[in-house]
């Protein structure tokens, strides 16, 4: 993974490629060609969208990038990345929704057909979700949340089969995460022999949108550089 490298960033549920703005800047400064597309609902119908639709989009976006290439996914994006990992040269997962069998330890939750994160967005709620973000980032996120497919989230919660990527793999975990308990991420990493970057972030999206996001992204780049040397 030396010379020209490419990175595909896959965002989480209710978000968009904008979630990676900080990481994108860090990776581009390190010489990566970066793509951070928005996952798109099928035919514009959020309720009709299923997880395989997103998986197909990730695989197509990855195939369009030159090698060597790294797949980086956060939350739902982390689960989607695992489906396409066979086409990557390295994988970085940030507080990923876990595949089977670790999904059984996730907090119980149900979702309507359309999760109204855009419709019901409140600035106060965004501040609560992003306790480590500055005011500008919080306002930007509040204006860019989007509604999400409940079917996708239900399918993820029921458990998605995935194999351990054959390429080097890094799991980034927050110190505190009410959406994906850090113990689940660490258990998956241990079972699969992946490395863990334990952060001090105190929220699910803190590694992307918190004040320490640039530092965490830089550590991910350092890990990729080490993986390239040893691989």
Q: What are the pLDDT digits (tens) for 110-166?
A: 899 999 999 999 999 999 999 999 999 999 999 999 999 999 999 999 999 999 999
Burial of 73 (0-12, 13-18, 19+ CB in 10 A): buried
Please report the beta strands in 107-191, taking only residues with DSSP state E, as ranges in sequence order.
114-115, 148-149, 169-173
Report pLDDT digits (tens) over 57-66: 999 999 999 9
Is-contact 71 61, C-beta < 8 A?
A: no
Backbone angles phi, psi at 7, to 5 degrees: -140, 130
Q: Cα separation of 165 and 121, whole Å? A: 36
Length in residues, the chain = 231
Q: What is the per-residue pLDDT across 9-46, written as a single tens digit (0 to 9) for each?
A: 999 999 999 999 999 999 999 999 999 999 999 998 99
pLDDT of residue 123: 95
Least reliable range by pLDDT among 33-37, 95-99, 227-231: 227-231
């Amino acid at each position: 993974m030396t010379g020209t490298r490419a990175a595909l960033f896959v965002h989480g549920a209710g978000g968009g490629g904008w979630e990676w703005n900080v990481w994108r800047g860090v990776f581009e400064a390190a010489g990566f060609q970066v793509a951070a597309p928005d996952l798109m609902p099928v035919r514009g119908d959020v309720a009709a969208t299923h997880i395989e639709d997103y998986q197909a989009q990730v695989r197509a976006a990855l195939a369009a990038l030159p090698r060597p290439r790294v797949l980086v996914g956060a939350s739902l994006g982390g689960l989607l990345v695992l489906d396409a990992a066979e086409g990557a040269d390295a994988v970085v997962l940030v507080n990923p929704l876990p595949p089977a069998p670790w999904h059984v330890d996730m907090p119980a939750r149900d979702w309507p057909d359309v999760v109204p994160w855009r419709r019901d967005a409140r600035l106060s709620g965004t501040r609560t979700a992003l306790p480590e973000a500055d005011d500008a980032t919080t306002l930007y996120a509040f204006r860019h949340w989007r509604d999400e497919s409940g079917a996708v989230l239900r399918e993820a919660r029921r458990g998605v089969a995935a194999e351990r990527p054959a390429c080097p793999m890094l799991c980034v975990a927050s110190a505190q995460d009410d959406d994906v308990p850090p113990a689940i991420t660490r258990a998956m990493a241990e079972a699969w022999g992946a490395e863990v970057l334990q952060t001090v972030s105190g929220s699910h999206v803190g590694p992307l949108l918190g004040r320490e996001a640039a530092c965490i992204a830089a550590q991910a780049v350092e890990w990729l550089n080490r993986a390239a040397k040893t691989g």
